[in-house]
Chains A and B, each alone.
Chain A
Amino acid sequence: MSRHWIGDTLASDGLEAEFNGLSVPLEHSFELDDVAKFQLRGSLMLKTGREPSVSLNQNQLSEEDRTKLKEVAAVDGLYRIRVPRVFLQADKQTEWQTEGHLTAFVRACAMVESHLSDVITLHTDVSGYLIGVSIVTLPGACRGIEVEDEVDLEVFNTTLSIMAPVNAPGPETALFIQRMEQEFEKKGKNPQEQKSFFAKYWYLILGGAIFLMVSNSAQPPAGGGREQS
């Protein structure tokens, strides 16, 4: 487990106090026989509180590890990471740690081909427990491209974020009612009084006129007869 590049100072109490949060180890494992042997990769600085944030402090890969990672990539092995389960809302330090680890993986070849550029996301639940971790590389595919330059595999280019669950929307009755009211008002603004009497009832008047005309034209013989008499 112990490696020369482990930054013990990072996990020291002094730093923790500065960050007003806690520091947890981020460990990784890549082995040829695929039996996980986790080693320290860096440490996560978790800022607790209402809006948790996270930052990462990590070291470079050693020469030895670089060659091992390439070998593992060649046999399509896995690159795993793990973080301990922590509780971000705890006030006391004794409370934040709980049993067990959360693990995730990518293909080692993707790690190599992306030149160690990975995206790590920590997921918490509603109350602030860390429930899962995920890792993807950018680009994510394994195309079998040889990474010639060893330097490319030295420094991690990590994008780190922490995600809390979003609040799912409920049925939006308020907006709907508002919209209905708006429509109602719109109807109310141009009421029918504004139209003239003829504009409103033109069809009735027209109908009446036609009716009168028809009845008049039917009458003439009788009316004419009366006039004659």
Chain B
Amino acid sequence: MAAPLGTAAQADDTGDEKQDTQEKEAVAPERAEEAKLKAKYPNLGQRPGGSDFLMKRLQKGQKYFDSGDYNMAKAKMKNKQLPSTGPDKNLVTGDHIPTPQDLPQRKSSLVTSKLAG
């Protein structure tokens, strides 16, 4: 299923016309989509697909304020994944001295892939 080639060799008139319509049909949906996008985001960059994307691509990766911020975020992630201990969890701080049963289980840092399970 080859697409019509951009540079066609000399063809007869009907061939050219047919190819033109085919190309126009192939392009028209793209142009319609572009119009839709411009309508939604009128301030979209002037240069189509230009440096904005590339800069974003080169910058890939979540930025943190510093290493402390990074480690805090990692710790928060680990806690989020722990099973919730229920409404009693909130009582641990302040009101009474925590016991080992009250504290959430520490998740092991190395988990085997489920593909190997």
Genuine A/B complex: no
